[in-house]
Amino acid sequence: MSKKQTVELRPSKIRREPPAPAAQKLTVLPDSPNRDTWTVVIGVLLFALAINIIIFWTSDFTSH
């Protein structure tokens, strides 16, 4: 058996304050799906253009 004396613990008295009420609720509008569509279309076209430039440059470089 332990020779130390036991200590009686009391319950915690820490309490949280309730959150403050929101002054005004702001609504966030989602981005337009058209914007996302156009971003994807432009990205695909730029990628295709870059691939074409690389292919034509390589073809021209190796043909000489």
Query: According to the model, what pLDDT value does residue 19 have?
Result: 76
CB count in 10 Å sphere of residue 39: 11
pLDDT of residue 62 exceeding 90, the answer is: yes
Residue 49 is assigned to a structural domain of this protein: yes
Give the integer Cα–Cα distance in Å for 63 and 61: 6
Tokens describing residue 43:
């990205």
Q: Is 17 among the domain residues?
A: no
pTM beyond 0.85, yes or no: no
Tell me the pLDDT tens digit for each residue of 12-59. Answer: 777 778 877 777 777 877 778 888 899 999 999 999 999 999 999 999
The structural domain count of the chain equals: 1
pLDDT classification of 60: cutoffs 50, 70, 90: very high
Residue 12 lies in a domain: no
Domain contains 61: yes
Alpha-carbon span 60 to 53, nearest angstrom = 10
Which domain, by its residues, includes 49?
A: 31-64
Residue 53 inside a domain? The answer is yes
What pLDDT is stored for residue 1 in this prediction? 59
Helix, strand, coil fractions of the chain, as percent rounded to 5: 45, 0, 55
